[in-house]
Amino acid sequence: MVNKKVYKTDTLLGHLGRDPAANHGVVNPPVYHASTLLSGTLAAFRDKRRDPFDKGHTSYGRMGTPTTFALEDAAAGLDGGYGAIATPNGMAAIVGAVSAFVAQGDHILVSDSVYQPNRRFCEDFLARMGVETTFYDPRIGAGITQLMRPKTKVIFLESPGSHSFEVQDVPAIAAAARAGGAVSIIDNSWATPLYFRPFSHGVDISVYAATKYIVGHADAMMGLIVTGEAHYRRVRRNTAVLGYSAAPDDVYLALRGLRTLSVRLARHQETGFTLARWLQGRPEVARVLHPGLPGDPGHEIWRRDFAGASGLFGVVFTPCSEAALAAFIDGLELFGLGASWGGYESLVMPSDITASRSATTWDEPGPTLRIHAGLEDPEDLIADLAAGLARMTKAKAQPTGASP
Ligand SMILES: *Cc1c(COP(=O)(O)O)cnc(C)c1O
């Protein structure tokens, strides 16, 4: 097996989580489909069940198979964590991590820019279980200390937010969490372990919608939780209690996606910058939300803490009607209209940021569109966007209420 300390990330991507010598020389780990795992003797059976929350434990399919452990080892190695836990999707990774640390009467702090279903988990489920959530301004930085209470058990971060793209001062917030005895958990799906390293910035636990860039091909759902040694067993035990298990074919797809993450992400980054800069120069655009662009409110922290930007960013149009926005979106040939991101294909999706805010307000008067830059030729993508803006301008010139 590969010594994680010696090699650089691109090398690790090709070598973590596989052991051909243990598998007839086959390069990739096999896909084990399993529920029952047999034991040869009573002693072996008892031994297997001695520690069900150990890393790489195999006494029953729900706890994982060597296929699952291959993905988990690779994810932990990449992030520099002690261990990883594969979950059926990214939302399960969030729930599995947060719920491991809270009980009735506790309090958590969650960024106001957080993935919307995560907000719903706090407001619906955690509230019903007697856990109180305070949403905080994503740009609060060290000021988060003022919001901490004796019962604050978790500080949840997401940087940048996946619709509004505020960059958080992660080291300051993680340090405040540690000083106040809370666990810091970050949703690192946007940057992946390649462009942001949670553990070197003081965070305790990272969670991933591996569905996005890690799977990378829009064909499977997967989540990952990566922890240091101090929190590993507690989270592993909790995800087992919740009944989470990731399906073997999807685990295989996630591991396969991981092998090419570096080359894909570099291209997503480059095309994302190209489209964002082009949009910045257009009169129909009020603002581009991309922390990699100089002048973006998050740019300085992004430059300090991140090694790159992925291909997901936002664009705020100058105020226009729903019909004008529809004229832009509906005729796009290359950009699909849909949720999710991180696949090889370009996407757009309207963002409704105002509706998922409570600690802060979103004051942009025009509509916001989220763009995922796929792996297509950037010139073709720009032509598609240009044609869309021409349709939008034409629709704006039409008197409102005019029949077609
Ligand atoms: C998609 C997404 C998730 C949830 O991942 P699923 O695999 O879809 O459950 C979590 N966080 C962010 C930022 C996401 O974009």
Strands, E, within 122-266: which ranges?
Answer: 132-136, 152-158, 183-187, 205-209, 223-227
CA of 400 to the centre of ligand 1 (A): 38
pLDDT tens per residue, the chain (404 residues)?
566 668 999 999 999 999 999 999 999 999 999 999 999 999 999 998 888 888 887 889 999 999 999 999 999 999 999 999 999 999 999 999 999 999 999 999 999 999 999 999 999 999 999 999 999 999 999 999 999 999 999 999 999 999 999 999 999 999 999 999 999 999 999 999 999 999 999 999 999 999 999 999 999 999 999 999 999 999 999 999 999 999 999 999 999 999 999 999 999 999 999 999 999 999 999 999 999 999 999 999 999 999 999 999 999 999 999 999 999 999 999 999 999 999 999 999 999 999 899 999 999 999 999 999 999 999 999 999 999 999 999 999 987 655 44
Provide the token pair at 327: 């004229």
Q: What pLDDT, on a 0 to 100 scale, did the predictor assign at position 4?
A: 60
Q: Structural domains in the chain? A: 9-259 (3.40.640.10), 261-397 (3.90.1150.10)
Provide the token pair at 185: 């958990």
Q: What pLDDT, on a 0 to 100 scale, did the predictor assign at position 1?
A: 57
> CB-based contacts of 357: which residues, under 8 Å, 6+ apart?
112
Q: Is the pTM of this model over 0.85?
A: yes
> CB-based contacts of 392: which residues, under 8 Å, 6+ apart?
284, 317, 320, 324, 325, 327, 328
Q: Is 151 among the catalytic positions?
A: no
Q: Is 49 among the catalytic positions?
A: no
Q: Is 115 among the catalytic positions?
A: yes
Provide the token pair at 376: 């297509």
Q: What pLDDT, on a 0 to 100 scale, did the predictor assign at position 192?
A: 98
Pocket of ligand 1 (CB under 6 A): 89-91, 115, 158, 162, 187, 189, 209, 211-212, 221, 223, 340
Q: Is 62 among the catalytic positions?
A: yes
HEC secondary structure over 315-376: EEECCCCHHHHHHHHHCCCCCEECCCCCCCCCEEEEECCHHHCCCCCCCCCCCEEEEECCCC
CA of 176 to the centre of ligand 1 (A): 26
Three-class SS state of 169:
coil
